[in-house]
Chains A and B, each alone.
Chain A
């Protein structure tokens, strides 16, 4: 390769990396939008785990169990001062009686107020039911594939649920309009997921025309609805989402009958509505009788499809909550700061930056111009990881970032191993071209071995594990592949920058040692 060709190629690669790095790192207000719109850098748009952006938590109170705040706010008041003027003693006595009855109805247990009817002989059973419900909820949330979540029993009588907020850093930290919208989208998703997955009650199929006079029920509540469904699964194809309903033999017959009935006899309501308790989830619009073993119900969003499939699958297999946790809309969700500190993401960013700078400085000091090539690959690696995380939508946790750093170490280690092998070859008296060729050849199997081992290990973690470990495995899988590709990119860059070198025996600190017999 000629000197000019080499210079042009190097300049193009460096410019492309610089432009990509700019958009990956810098956020700025969009010109002409009056500061309303904002461009968020790739880095600030990556979804982060609960250790960086906190968690969303809620406490489910079964009917008859109240928090101290709710108990106090609902306590009937006895009018006093101006409000009491004009009231007769009988009316005041009635208010007093209401309050006394209210207080007598509850018993304080720790920070909770519990209806006395639930305590005594039935207390143990009630506590057992809370525990069972927590297990059912744990099973439902487990299927969401969160990097980190917990379902726990709090104070024996309530269930506490914590899930990651999934905020990107921009939504977590910035308070401008654009980011506020992004934040509210995420919070809406969490609220909806929590509401659906905590739905109490059994699965019912309804149609207001056919089920008229029977609470809209298509199947009498005496029938065992769990015998009709095999499974509910999320289905997606080309950004279209649906819930796939797989029926049993009985279910196939039931749907054939009922949909036929709807087509022929229903006047205004031409759908089968799926309810869990009193919450309507999805509706199947019926245009003709369904005689298949499975069918699809289209939904607007992938997250919706996921939530519907999980809850329907759970209740259709008899995993219903035994206690009533009130209306779905009553659930209060609290968004807390990151468990590793409010600014954990910033601190972690500084660590990553230091590691990258350290790798660059080391390689430049040790290998001079060639070190710059290694520096370039380190930057490309970092950008590749950022873009991959952004596109695939993996939630980045501290452990995930650690996996990415290991990938970076793998890349630098591979390059250094190759450089050292080349140095050995030049000491044998070979020309640069020949030393590079034989140097890369000598470490070929070792580097390949290393990458194959790591790719297999990370693939196993990705395929078998769940949650944070799965995410770490996947990040490391991407990092290992990126490392191997960039290892060969370094080889290519070596060719680009060494071609125009005048001295074929001395390059970037690699100097041929002339053998004595020369």
Chain B
């Protein structure tokens, strides 16, 4: 870490982050006007299609027979569903909006024909188109407010707890990490729902924790007689190398826990698609935190430190010398 001399390479990091965020905004805006939104909104917010199968228990005492018919029909129509629920004599298969309606309709008709064989006319399959764009407008607005409030409170807390320069760096780190997180979501088109703000909040929290570890180390190094003699860049790099593990551990733990959930819930749901988006959000959050807090924050803080030192030096020089 120290050998890399991160602090001296702020321009490179700014270029990398700016390109990433700009790319995210560009992809988001293009999709906003051309496709289905800035982000790839998940089931909570986006249209989807479904095939609902109502089966009579008299004709089909167990749902496995119905499932088999449905799966064969979907295979023949060459369409894949991403979610399936059972209950009260009904099975619902959900399809992405992009799946062609005529294919879904054909599959529903094929299921219908098979269900109604041998005079079993109580069962029925129908295709539907569902518009779920109403769902979470309020949730998204309130999530955004909570996020902004979180960043503001963190800034105030850092001003009280540390120094203004550190608080500004932490604020910048938060904005940067959130920017990277949202850019990654926008570029990769991972389906997002209201959980986007849960993971964004996780990004803010992990950044706050990381900054705490980092600035604690910086403060100790500034107070240390030996390291205090180093320049701003060197202190920042040294502090980062010492606190790198502490900064990474929370973010990596979040990602690992998400991965564990992914494995088990994929087994439970017999499908990876339903769980994948949450896990990818957690991993993007971890990546944004580690990158932003470990590499971006030291380089920006070293600049703030230099500016502060220069200001102090100038201020000190201008002070009238008291006569003895």
Contact = CB atoms under 8 A, between A and B. Distances in A.
Interface residues of B, number: 65
Nearest to A52: B268
Given A348-B264, A453-B209, A465-B139, A402 B131 contact: no
Contact of A452 (B105, B126, B157, B258): B157
B170 to A, nearest CB: 11
Nearest to B154: A453
B208 to A, nearest CB: 5
Q: Is the interface of A mostly helix, strand, loop or mixed?
A: helix
A154 B130 contact: yes
Interface stretch (B11-19, B195-203, B229-237, B290-298): B195-203
A150 B142 CA distance: 17
B143 A469 contact: yes
Given A150-B44, A460-B150, A344 B265 contact: yes
A469 B126 contact: no
A111 B128 contact: yes
A301 to B, nearest CB: 25
Contact of A469 (B127, B129, B198): B198
Interface residues of A, number: 66
A470 to B, nearest CB: 8
Contact of B157 (A69, A151, A446, A453): A453
Contact of A457 (B129, B132, B133, B208): B208
A135 interface: yes
Contact of B124 (A69, A153, A348, A409): A69
A340 B204 contact: no
B29 to A, nearest CB: 26
Given A336-B87, A405-B257, A409-B257, A110 B135 contact: no
Nearest to A112: B126
Nearest to B90: A334
A466 B139 contact: yes
Given A340-B274, A340-B275, A449-B212, A154 B268 contact: no
A354 B260 CA distance: 10
Interface string B24-41: 000000000000000000
Contacts of A155: 128-130
Contact of B205 (A344, A453, A464, A467): A453
B62 interface: no
Contacts of B105: 110
B130 A152 contact: yes
B268 A347 contact: yes
A178 to B, nearest CB: 21
Nearest to B261: A351
Residue among A54, A409, A454 with most chain B CB within 10 A: A409
A465 B146 contact: yes
A402 B255 CA distance: 11
B138 interface: yes
A456 B157 contact: yes
Contacts of A460: 146, 149-150, 153
B59 interface: no
B139 A334 contact: no
Contact of B135 (A67, A150, A342, A343): A150
A398 B261 contact: yes
A151 B130 CA distance: 10
B161 A449 contact: yes
A248 to B, nearest CB: 26
A461 B83 contact: no
Interface of A: 54-55, 67-69, 110-111, 134-135, 138, 142, 148-156, 160, 334-344, 346-348, 350-351, 354-355, 398-399, 402, 405-406, 409, 413, 445-446, 449-450, 452-454, 456-457, 460-461, 463-469, 472-473
13 contacts: A68-B124, A149-B135, A152-B134, A153-B130, A336-B92, A347-B264, A347-B267, A351-B264, A355-B257, A446-B216, A453-B212, A456-B157, A467-B136
5 A-B pairs closest in CB distance: A111-B126, A336-B87, A347-B268, A336-B85, A341-B268
Given A155-B128, A464-B145, 6 more contacts: A111-B126, A343-B268, A351-B260, A354-B260, A446-B212, A469-B198
